[in-house]
Structure 1
Amino acid sequence: MTDAERFTRIYDAHHRQVYAYAVTRAGRAHADDVAGDTFLVAWRRLHEIPATPLPWLLGVARNVARERYRDEARQAAIAAELRAWVRETEDDVAEHVTDRAVVLAALGGLSEDDREVLTLTAWHGLSARDAARVVGCSTATFFVRLHRARKRLRQAMTATRQSRPTQTKEYSR
């Protein structure tokens, strides 16, 4: 297999996941740039990509996002994105809208590191071992971070539920 064919297979298999990760790290406005830069690095370092490329690619995407978009601007974009999702869900008529809105609002209030740990496992479907590679720590350390992030998410969800007024509708005949 040629380098171009290998790269194409890696790109086709993982672009959507890298893009989704970029959205959670840098917001939609910058996700295309982060994903593009990630695959540029992948092309340049093609021979360094392991047999299971997704954790490696997400690690590169993480570094690209950190280098390119520093804390304040990135945090503002992500928080705005999560707030927009909450507003979208409030108008949605689906059965689990309230829970979705509570989770998204609670996620928006967590630190960037907590959001990353939670979304790597829950939204991106990585194992703890692979997610640990992405964030650059041991699997044991990742489990501790994940446990703490889940605890803070539960607390934030409880606080969010308590701060939302109960909506009752009166129906007229």
Structure 2
Amino acid sequence: MFHERRASPTEGTGLPNPHERFTALYNTCQARVYGYAVTRAGHQLAEEVVSETFLVAWRRLDDIPDHAQLQWLFRVARNILRDNFRQDARRASLEADLRTWVEKAVADVGEDATERLTVLRALATLSDDDKEILTLTTWHGLSAAQAAEVLGCTKATFFVRLHRARRRLQSAIDTAGTSPSPKPVIFPGGKLR
């Protein structure tokens, strides 16, 4: 009895096999997906979110668009966070991390530390949605189009939400009574008004 070896779908095409594609995807995007998960769920849950995200990526490797791999992974991570973790647990973990960042900022000297402390305190008062919108572009460096894709909205809708989140952040900074400086807080791709 003869057994024929089946060729893989990528064999002979010059395309990397699935293991190589997945390894390249993981090596390229894991740290950024982890960073996204940390800002949404805190350090304690981020590892689990990253693991589940890349498990989904492995299972749906052929569905990942080559031109938007990171956005696709962020969207999967976002869905995992929404589906598997209660909002209260995420908020408590994120607030604990923000408190840690605030405490570290207090140890810094100078005007930059004061500004950072004020912004972090104000950020901690915002809703999870506002925090996510602000951190996608500011901390994770996504473009507006990429962030809109992660959030599942149009670029125009994203800009409206971003503008509103920035206004609420500025209001929270002003309410703290210790506005970091007379100039607005500048974020990549725009500034707070």
Please indicate, yes or no, whether the TM-score normalized by the shorter chain is above 0.5.
Answer: yes
SS of residue paired to 1:162: coil
Residue of structure 1 aligned with 2:71, choices 40, 55, 69: 55
* Distance (whole Å) between structure 2 residues aligned to residue 114 and residue 125 of structure 1: 16
Partner of 1:106: 122
- Runs (4+) of structure 1 exceeding 6 A deviation are none
Match of 2:134 in 1: 118
Counterpart amino acid of 2:92?
A: A
CA deviation map 1:9-38 (0-9, x unaligned): 111111110000000111111111101110
Name the Cα RMSD after superposition. 1.5
State how many pairs are aligned: 164
Q: Within 5 Å, which residues of 2 pair with 1:33-112?
A: 33-51=48-66, 52-93=68-109, 96-112=112-128
SS in 2 for 1:43: helix
Aligned equivalent of 1:170: none
**What secondary structure is seen at the aligned counterpart in 1 of 2:21?**
helix
Q: Secondary structure at the match of 2:141?
A: coil
Specify every segment of 5 or more residues in structure 2 that has no aligned partner in the other structure, as ranges.
Answer: 1-15, 181-193
Structure 1 regions of 5+ residues with no counterpart?
Answer: 165-173
- Which one has the largest radius of gyration? 2
Aligned partner (choices 9, 18, 30) of residue 24 of structure 2: 9
**C-alpha contact 1:102 1:161 (8 A) present in aligned 2:** no
Q: 1:26 aligns with which of 19, 41, 44?
A: 41
Query: Aligned-pair distance for 1:162?
Result: 3.4
Is the contact made by 2:118 and 2:179 (CA closer than 8 Å) also made in structure 1? no
Partner residue of 2:156 out of 112, 135, 140: 140
- Indicate the structure with greater helix content: 1
Post-superposition offset of 1:154: 0.7
